[in-house]
Chains A and B, each alone.
Chain A
Amino acid sequence: MIRGDQHSCCPIGEVPKRRGLHIKVFPYPEISKDELEEINQFVGPVEKFFNEEVDSKKIDQEAKIPPETLKGLKSLGLFGMQIPEEYGGLGLSNTMYARLGEITSLDGSIAVTLAAHQAIGLKGILIAGTEEQKAKYLPRLASGEHIAAFCLTEPGSGSDAASIQTRATMSEDGKSFLLNGSKVWISNGGLADIFTVFAKTQVVDKDGAKKDKITAFIVERAFGGVTNGKPEDKLGIRGSNTCEVHFENTKVPVENVIGEVGGGFKVAMNILNSGRFSMGSGAAGMIKKLIGSEYGFKKKQFNKKLCDFGLIQEKFTLMAQKAYVMESMAYLTAGMMDRPGEPDCSVEAAMVKIFSSEGAWTCVSEALQVLGGLGYMKDYPYERYLRDSRILMIFEGTNEILRMYVALTGMQYAGKILTEKIKDIKKGGVGTALQMLASKLRDSVGRKVDLGLVGEGGVTHCSLEESAKKLEENIYYFGITVEGLLRRFGKTIVDEQLILKRVADTVINLYGMTATISRASRSISIGLHNHDHEVLLTNIFCTEAYFKNNYTMTQLEKYADENLDDSIKKVAQQVLEKRAYLCSHPLDRTF
């Protein structure tokens, strides 16, 4: 289902897929007028709070969020944004959560504290908890009386489930577990009272074999044996409390198991996959604030204002464009997730996270560059934004591993559909060979791709015709490329990370193009303010992405000259063998 948009990313040009594309992605998801008014009522006070009562510089310097600020956040209800109203929370939908995320991200430390609390810390109880667990814990978590933390990472285990050392052993009476182990880099570790801990338990298989499987537990600090180390001294988000958490013979009652014993892996995956999309709106909010800097107008060189120089103008355009794409992607994903039926938008969320984290890093860097030397000084907030935005590429799944996730999930889906076709081709029947030949000829001559986006009965506005045509062409050729890759590699593509990275990059660009075209189309149709500006931004982004995609897809051909993977791997192997830079110094002599 979610493959509605996945279809846009792994299309085979078949008709049912086209229809799917239209239903899910076009038109751009909207919220009703009442909901919009409701959310704007929330937005007002929160913005006021952040502008007046949050001193980001002080938080950064002291590496602590002052208790008054925390109290203010709690009173605004920001600690229970997604908790249903019956448990005392705000019960906001994903879209509204994303909207508020735009404001909370004005201060990185506060945003991370809130995210660690609700996007991952208590999500487990929300998604997979029983009614009793929800009733017991959610009210106090919503009010902020208790803060939650998510404890998965250990010194030896980041994404590897098999290397988790924390153990939970069943007691003799079978009523509780004894938890032993330590977790590292836990956000809110020092403040939290409720932890979602993942530990290894011994489970008896249906075959009777004993295996170690991961289980999720709700652990209260009151259970005893929970200690935390000192707060880590970080580069950015210094106000957020990050520390080690140690569990020593902590007694956890059996009722506190989330899901079932041995089912912790699925719980972990669901939690991790559901919180990512809000990074898009958060990063967009931050960039929108940075675009508003007046420095470009104040500073003059050679009797010209800075903003009259082309290079500076290019930077502002980049920021505007990236912010637009991030917003579009984030709200599109949130809208799709809000649809009834609980669709699985994990791939889209991952794509939003990758694009937004990298976009935020480049945009903040460019904004700092506009200010030149002043941007480097601590008196201005740009260096703090830069340091805070660096973590975006690392936490919630590093961008590298998320690219693999996006690419592999897509390949899995495409592979299921294409297996039959590829097997036919490999068997080498005359019919299929002729078909392929004809297809290749038509492609080389210049095929007209029509996926129904433009023209009669098309879903996009005619001002976006060119961009939509580029998108269609990219989709079509991407489908062919994916088919070719599966034919060449089959299952073994799991090991070809450099190829998967290119696939992921293409998919992310395609998703961005889809989101922007969809949103711009809606803007023109309704007549939103400055919709022609949106069309401009869409066209710029789509053209850039179109050419980048074409280049990437050329690199994915077999024996392409543009593909330097073999040389890269060779150099890497030589350098890593000696663990040093290998070249002789330029001044060396042999005689």
Chain B
Amino acid sequence: MNYVRKLLLARELAAGLGILRRAAPRRDFPQLQGLICAQCFRAVPARSIQSSAIRARAELTSSAKSGKEEESRSGALMPFQELFEGDRKGDKDKASFTRAVEIFCQRDIRRRGHVEFIYAALKKMPEYGLERDLEVYNKILDVFPKEVFVPRNFIQKIFTHYPRQQECALHVLQQMEDNGVTPNYQTKFLLLQIFGEKSRAIRKYWRIMYWFPKLKHANPYPVPDPLPQDPIDLARFTLQRIAADLSAKVTVYQMALTDITDAGKEITQPHIVGIQSPDQQDLLAHHNPDRPVFVEGPFRLWLKKTCVYYYILRGDPLPPEEREDVIDPERNFYCPLSLDLDLDQGIWDDEEFDVDEVVEGPIFAICMAGAGDQNTLAKWILGLQHTNPVLSQVPVVFQLTPGPDELPLATDSENGEEEIPQSQHAKQEL
């Protein structure tokens, strides 16, 4: 919205003042000659910065108009683009960003156009990958001139003094908040110096400082940031997260491998990482070999913006006859395990909730693999046999849904199939 307003204002002023401006000669200052910048600033007598900003904008548009029209329009919307074009080498990192900010600060003692500059910088930060960096935010806030915007009398205090600057600072703080960056004491001192106490910016700062520490540990199962890149590490983390059992052990059954045999043929081997806890091992050991176990998958799990797929080995729930409920009186050498009384728990004393539990079969193991085909998962089952010898006797049924990798292949082959009869048709026609 701000941009639209700026553009309209700029056009109005340009219409009126552009002619006057063009008439006057432009003077370049020697220190600016080294810079490639479309906008050049004239030394004007000291005035309130707001009007100079408007003038700067007008100059912007007017100078741009002398050049290319479309680019000038985009130039008005995205000022200071050249500053942020990065090093000559082309890599965008913190050093070049901070240099760009410093250049702007040193350029003009009055920091004309600082609001647009800050907005532009905020927009550019994701490209440089700096949106989580507190130092950079502090540097951006440093662009504001100090002590100018602090209200000095009670009328200034009632009405938001320098609303545009305050809003700009609020946008900076908002971007900090959106990216989860906790401001520090330096931010506070900067904001106090720039806007004084009781300003909207400093109030937003205090609100961030109230909520962020409180909510920092709100997530009982946080996902590390950044996620591990190595697929085996990622698999290890995901499986431990799914299994949620501290005694569960992660085993890497196969590492990812690309090999070129002597014949020149390429063999790729996907990684297989599995997890199983001692409880699951016990359940599997007690599984009746007459009943099958099922390998199902892939199931999706989203970790922030990454989607991972896992496969499970499960069994069917036991039919009601086989569930053991009877307590043997000769079970415990030292004390009775059950009382032979006709008394039940009082109705008023039953504080358990009536939970309707769905009867599910046991899940014996979970795995994540680079490829979801039956051969890879069969290798997983073979690996599991080392610790669960009963698997060699139990029939294993693979119930795999087509994973994300296989879907495009399916459509291709479909097209292929469709094409073949068409070409045959064509041949026949011919």
Task: Answer yes or no: A585 CB below 8 A from chain B CBs.
Answer: no
Chain A residues with Cβ below 8 Å from B340 are: 412
Task: Answer yes or no: B103 CB below 8 A from chain A CBs.
Answer: no
Give the residues from 255 to 305 in chain A that come closer than 8 angstroms, CB to CB, to chain B. 265, 268-269, 272
How far is the CB of A75 from the nearest CB of chain B, in Å? 35
How far is the CB of A49 from the nearest CB of chain B, in Å? 35
Task: Answer yes or no: B353 CB below 8 A from chain A CBs.
Answer: no
Instruction: Tell me the complex Cα distance, A162–B340, Å.
Output: 20
CB < 8 Å neighbour of A591 from B213, B336, B337: B213
Residue contact B212 to A591, C-beta cutoff 8 Å: yes
Instruction: Tell me the complex Cα distance, A186–B341, Å.
Output: 37
Chain B residues with Cβ below 8 Å from A419 are: 341-343
Instruction: Tell me the complex Cα distance, A162–B336, Å.
Output: 14
Residue contact A494 to B333, C-beta cutoff 8 Å: no
Give the residues from 59 to 81 in chain A that come closer than 8 angstroms, CB to CB, to chain B. none
How far is the CB of B309 from the nearest CB of chain A, in Å? 27
Whether A411 touches B346, Cβ cut-off 8 Å, given contacts A159-B332, A161-B330, A162-B328, is no
Whether A160 touches B330, Cβ cut-off 8 Å, given contacts A412-B339, A590-B216, is no
Residue contact A152 to B213, C-beta cutoff 8 Å: no
Residue contact B345 to A492, C-beta cutoff 8 Å: yes
Nearest B residue to A426 by beta-carbon distance?
B346
Instruction: Tell me the complex Cα distance, A440–B341, Å.
Output: 26
How far is the CB of B111 from the nearest CB of chain A, in Å? 29
Residue contact A488 to B344, C-beta cutoff 8 Å: no
Residue contact B342 to A487, C-beta cutoff 8 Å: no
Task: Answer yes or no: B246 CB below 8 A from chain A CBs.
Answer: yes
CB < 8 Å neighbour of B332 from A161, A412, A423, A486: A161
Nearest B residue to A566 by beta-carbon distance?
B351
Chain B: interface residue total (CB-CB under 8 A): 27
How far is the CB of B206 from the nearest CB of chain A, in Å? 12
Nearest A residue to B338 by beta-carbon distance?
A494
Residues 381-419 of chain A: 1 if any B CB is under 8 Å from the residue's CB, otherwise 0?
000000000000000010001101100110110011001
Whether A162 touches B331, Cβ cut-off 8 Å, given contacts A419-B343, A488-B349, is yes
Residue contact A416 to B341, C-beta cutoff 8 Å: yes
Residue contact B335 to A161, C-beta cutoff 8 Å: no
Whether A493 touches B339, Cβ cut-off 8 Å, given contacts A488-B349, A579-B246, A591-B184, is yes
Residue contact A160 to B341, C-beta cutoff 8 Å: no
CB < 8 Å neighbour of A397 from B334, B337, B341: B334
Task: Answer yes or no: A45 CB below 8 A from chain B CBs.
Answer: no
Range for the number of chain A residues in contact with chain B: 35 or more
Task: Answer yes or no: B420 CB below 8 A from chain A CBs.
Answer: no
Chain A residues with Cβ below 8 Å from B209 are: 591
Instruction: Tell me the complex Cα distance, A16–B217, Å.
Output: 64
How far is the CB of B207 from the nearest CB of chain A, in Å? 14
Residue contact B333 to A272, C-beta cutoff 8 Å: yes
Nearest A residue to B348 by beta-carbon distance?
A488
Instruction: Tell me the complex Cα distance, A161–B337, Å.
Output: 12
Chain B residues with Cβ below 8 Å from A405 are: 334-336
Instruction: Tell me the complex Cα distance, A19–B212, Å.
Output: 72
CB < 8 Å neighbour of B343 from A161, A415, A558: A415
Instruction: Tell me the complex Cα distance, A45–B337, Å.
Output: 46
Whether A489 touches B349, Cβ cut-off 8 Å, given contacts A162-B331, A591-B213, is yes
How far is the CB of A480 from the nearest CB of chain B, in Å? 16
CB < 8 Å neighbour of B333 from A152, A409, A579: A152
CB < 8 Å neighbour of A491 from B328, B344, B349: B344
Whether A408 touches B333, Cβ cut-off 8 Å, given contacts A422-B343, A591-B212, is no
Instruction: Tell me the complex Cα distance, A161–B331, Å.
Output: 5
CB < 8 Å neighbour of A558 from B213, B338, B345, B349: B349
How far is the CB of B298 from the nearest CB of chain A, in Å? 29
How far is the CB of B233 from the nearest CB of chain A, in Å? 22
CB < 8 Å neighbour of A409 from B330, B332, B336: B336
Instruction: Tell me the complex Cα distance, A213–B331, Å.
Output: 10
Instruction: Tell me the complex Cα distance, A268–B328, Å.
Output: 16
Residue contact B342 to A268, C-beta cutoff 8 Å: no
Chain B residues with Cβ below 8 Å from A155 are: none
Residue contact B339 to A488, C-beta cutoff 8 Å: no
Chain A residues with Cβ below 8 Å from B246 are: 578-579
Instruction: Tell me the complex Cα distance, A494–B340, Å.
Output: 11
Task: Answer yes or no: B254 CB below 8 A from chain A CBs.
Answer: no
Instruction: Tell me the complex Cα distance, A183–B330, Å.
Output: 20
Q: List 22 A-B contacts (CB under 8 A).
A: A161-B330, A162-B328, A214-B330, A265-B333, A397-B334, A404-B335, A408-B339, A409-B335, A411-B339, A415-B339, A415-B341, A415-B343, A419-B342, A422-B343, A487-B346, A488-B349, A490-B343, A491-B343, A491-B345, A492-B344, A494-B337, A591-B182
- A interface residue numbers (CB < 8 A to B): 152, 159-162, 213-214, 265, 268-269, 272, 397, 401-402, 404-405, 408-409, 411-412, 415-416, 419, 422-423, 426, 486-494, 558, 578-579, 590-591
In order of increasing CB-CB distance, the 6 nearest A-B pairs are: A490-B343, A405-B335, A590-B213, A415-B341, A265-B330, A488-B349
